[in-house]
């Protein structure tokens, strides 16, 4: 075959398309692999190394994890102040995670390999994950109770593990009391205050009602005082224990167990133990609350907030988009006005998302939310209830952001349905409304689901508008709890997208936060995929049910 004939046959276009798709898939899977490798590898218990570092005639002991290594030129290291031998052109340097930020002033530092001594992995090296100041590395010396030594040497290991388990149980009890019982009492006190204020505004606060409210208030205060006394006793118990350990500079420091999350010896762990540790850490990342300025702990509130916001947004945008599309396609007279509306809808899809955030803040929060407070929550004023950013306004803002996608997809689905189906239904005696509801809309439902899928994919990753209408760095409570009305759409919430931005760019410890950025990014992608796959599965079932002849 001649080249000209081959070009005219269309084969080059086919190969070009296939190559483009292949390159795109390689890039997508490459990004996912890099994100997964950098993020999921963070939870594996890395070995601890001990070596020496020669600096200006002094020898310093170095203890820590090797977080990263790279080959650099000797000139670059010399410019950084490292005195390397003159015969070295390229050298490897290691980024050590030294931990002990409260004692050393930093917990990451680069060391060039030519200035390091022999690497060892002592089994006795202790790794301690703390609630603040990051990890702690050192050699265990003694376990103390109320400042007195209760175990030393080999006996200190088992004693430390037992006391750490006891401390964690006490922390769980504190969390249950503070988040559960104390939270319920505070909620009840606030409800009583609002009830009294409402009666005052209505002029219905009689002496009898005031006495009833005061009696309930006294009862709640007694419960609160009892809970505070219990917490005081638990805090006294939790602050009882500590341990002594020697760090890399030779100092022996005292570490209170109240600040300890877990203690482990990575160099003494076998593969099975490390694998178990890995899954425990992975589950903690998914199911626990964040700590240490969001650079440690879990991200469950962000996961919950993201999923709930997407679900509320979907409930809001789907009927609005479908109604608008049905009206423009089935009822409105086709003419210049409808064409103008369609052009406007398409243009709305290209408006920057931050503009929607500004609109949501001005209209939804200040105007609509402020009006709701004036009408339905006057007893709470001047403190706003709905007149402040929250998850409802975030969902509405993103519903407005994704509305053009749903409208366009639904209109295309309605346009694909042959007119003969409508005529046949009308000929059998059905009204136009019955034809639309029982015939047209069910057949167009796959297209509606396509619009919803696109809306979910776009909304779940939005961050800029949410920063104005509801998302926060750390939410004190979830929007869903066991207090009436259970779903609190007025509350602020955490979001995975904003969490990535906050940890990656606002963290005081960038090196420590970087793996969590990768892990959170991967989790956000997984959540979007799960939501989309759920919608795609439903769409395919609807498509098969109504025997669509053309793909939507």
pLDDT by residue (tens digit) across 416-467?
888 888 888 888 888 888 888 888 888 888 888 888 888 888 888 888 899 9
- Per the structure block, which two tokens stand in for 146? 């109320």
Phi, psi of 478, deg, nearest 5: -75, 155
Higher-confidence residue of 56 and 133: namely: 133
Compute CA distances 102 → 98, 106, 107, 254, whole Å.
Answer: 11, 8, 9, 12
On whether the CB atoms of residues 56 and 83 are closer than 8 A, the answer is yes
- pLDDT at position 462 is 87
How far is residue 540's CA from residue 289's CA, in Å, rounded to a whole number? 37
pLDDT at res. 552: 41
Q: What is the pTM of this model?
A: 0.88
Q: Is the pLDDT of residue 3 over 80?
A: no
pLDDT at 537 over 50: yes
pLDDT at 547: 57
Give the β-pairing of 58-73 and 148-152: unpaired
pLDDT band at 505 (very low <50, low <70, confident <90, very high): confident
How far is residue 455's CA from residue 528's CA, in Å, rounded to a whole number? 11
C-alpha 69/C-alpha 116 separation (Å) is: 13
């Amino acid at each position: 075959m001649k080249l000209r004939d081959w070009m005219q046959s269309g084969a080059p276009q086919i190969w070009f398309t296939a190559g483009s798709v292949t390159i795109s898939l390689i890039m997508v899977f490459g990004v996912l692999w890099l994100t997964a490798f950098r993020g999921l590898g963070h939870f594996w218990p890395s070995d601890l190394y001990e070596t020496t570092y020669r600096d200006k005639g002094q020898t310093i002991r170095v203890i820590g994890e090797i977080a990263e290594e790279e080959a650099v030129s000797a000139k670059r290291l010399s410019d950084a102040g490292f005195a390397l031998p003159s015969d070295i052109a390229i050298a490897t340097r290691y980024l050590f995670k030294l931990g002990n930020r409260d004692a050393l002033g930093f917990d990451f530092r680069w060391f060039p390999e030519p200035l390091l001594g022999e690497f060892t992995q002592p089994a006795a090296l202790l790794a301690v994950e703390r609630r603040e100041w990051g990890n702690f590395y050192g050699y265990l010396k003694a376990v103390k109770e109320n400042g007195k030594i209760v175990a030393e040497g080999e006996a200190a290991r088992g004693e430390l593990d037992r006391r750490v388990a006891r401390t964690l149980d006490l922390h769980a009890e504190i969390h249950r009391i503070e988040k559960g019982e104390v939270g319920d009492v505070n909620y009840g006190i606030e409800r009583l205050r609002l009830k009294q204020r409402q009666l005052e505004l209505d002029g219905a606060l009689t002496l009898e009602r005031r006495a009833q409210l005061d009696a309930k208030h006294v009862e709640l205060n007694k419960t609160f005082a009892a809970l505070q006394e219990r917490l005081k006793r638990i805090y006294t118990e939790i602050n009882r224990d500590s341990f002594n350990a020697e760090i890399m500079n030779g100092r022996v420091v005292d570490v209170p167990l109240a600040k300890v999350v877990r203690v482990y010896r990575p160099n003494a762990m076998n593969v099975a133990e490390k694998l178990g540790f890995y899954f425990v850490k992975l589950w903690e990342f998914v199911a626990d609350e964040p700590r240490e300025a969001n650079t440690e702990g879990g991200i469950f509130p962000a996961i919950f907030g993201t999923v709930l916001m997407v679900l509320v947004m979907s409930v809001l945008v789907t009927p609005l988009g479908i109604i608008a599309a049905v009206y423009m396609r089935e009822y409105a007279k086709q003419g210049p006005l409808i064409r103008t509306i369609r052009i406007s809808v398409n243009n709305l899809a290209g408006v920057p998302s931050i503009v929607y955030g500004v609109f949501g803040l001005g209209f939804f929060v200040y105007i609509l939310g402020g009006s709701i407070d004036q009408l339905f929550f006057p007893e709470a004023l001047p403190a706003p209830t709905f007149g402040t950013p929250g998850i409802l306004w975030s969902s509405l803002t993103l519903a407005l952001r994704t509305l053009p996608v749903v409208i366009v997809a639904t209109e295309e689905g309605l346009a694909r349905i042959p007119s003969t189906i409508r005529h046949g239904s009308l000929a059998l005696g059905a009204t136009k409304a019955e034809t639309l509801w029982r015939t047209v809309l069910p057949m167009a439902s796959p297209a509606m689901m396509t619009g919803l899928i696109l809306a979910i994919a776009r909304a779940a990753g939005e961050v800029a508008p949410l920063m104005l209408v509801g998302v926060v760095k750390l939410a004190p409570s979830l929007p869903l709890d066991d207090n009436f009305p259970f779903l609190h759409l007025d509350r602020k919430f955490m979001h995975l997208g904003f969490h990535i931005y906050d940890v990656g760019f606002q963290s005081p410890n960038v090196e420590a936060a970087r793996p969590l950025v990768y892990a959170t990014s991967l989790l956000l992608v997984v959540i979007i995929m799960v939501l989309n796959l759920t919608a795609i599965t439903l769409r395919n079932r609807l498509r098969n049910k109504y025997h669509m002849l053309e793909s939507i």
